[in-house]
Amino acid sequence: MYPHRIRLQGPWQCEPVARSNPGALPPPFPVMPPGRLRDFGLPGFAGRVHFRRRFGYPGRIDAHERIWLTFHGMTQPFTIELNGQDLGRPGPEDGGFSIPVTELLKARNDLVVDLDAPNDETVLGATTMEVRCPAYLRGIRLRLEASDQGNARPLGLHVRGEVVGQCDETLEVYVVVDRSNVAYRKVTAAESGQPFHLTTDSVTGEWVKVELVRGPTAWYRFDAPFPLRSAAP
């Protein structure tokens, strides 16, 4: 099942390199993200901080697989450097940031996140390596919306998103609520993102799963709690 996620939890090396408020710069020390600067032992700090994490190659990667770095929970602008190469600022994806790194990885890797912190509430979020297929889902949004037909206006589940990447074949998107298949359609992938919109009749449940499927293999899976709020009438 894709994506395969490998969490880069810790320890990271934290090195404050510049202050924008009075005080001495502490020496580098280990931290365990995610967390706020004050949680890491930098109460009252404002300025620039380097966070470094060294890690190995993520096992055997098949020819069709790709590796991405994803960042979630970051509260301020940041830049990324991997093995001495500046990757800039990655693009938004599903509430976080994501960037492809397959060709940059080595047997041993050095990742640096450079964070500008206006105060000690600034967060270093969770960082994960994701092994993906050539096409994947992005920007999945779930919403209960009332139908325009009939007086009862029943609520249906609307699923929107994009299929991103490369695939010469037609793919399929399935929406599953709990254990029931509630929506399906064939889709194509595009490097810039191919949007899709699936709707269901009135449905309830506790959990929603959206899967991108090629043949017998799920190329990407998105899970979320069943939405509780409906759209405004």
Q: What is the mean pLDDT of residues 202-229?
A: 89
Q: What is the mean pLDDT of residues 210-225?
A: 94
pLDDT of residue 92: 63
111 or 61, higher pLDDT = 111
DSSP 11-74: PEEEEEEEESSSSPPPPPEEE-SSEETTTTT-TT--EEEEEEEEEE--S---TT-EEEEEEES-
Q: Is the pLDDT of residue 93 over 70?
A: no
Local confidence band at 77 (pLDDT 50, 70, 90 cut-offs): confident
Q: Is the pLDDT of residue 63 over 50?
A: yes
Q: What is the mean pLDDT of residues 127-150?
A: 86
What residue spans define the domains of the chain? 4-132, 135-225
How is domain 4-132 classified at the architecture level of CATH? Answer: Sandwich (2.60)
Q: What is the mean pLDDT of residues 143-165?
A: 79
| Strands 123-124 and 35-36, bridge-based pairing | antiparallel
Q: Is the pLDDT of residue 47 over 50?
A: yes
Estimate to the nearest angstrom the gap between the alpha carbon of 86 and the chain centroid.
20
pLDDT of residue 85: 95
Q: What is the mean pLDDT of residues 149-156?
A: 63
* Domain covering 135-225 in this structure, CATH number: 2.60.40.10
Estimate to the nearest angstrom the gap between the alpha carbon of 14 and the chain centroid.
23
Local confidence band at 153 (pLDDT 50, 70, 90 cut-offs): low
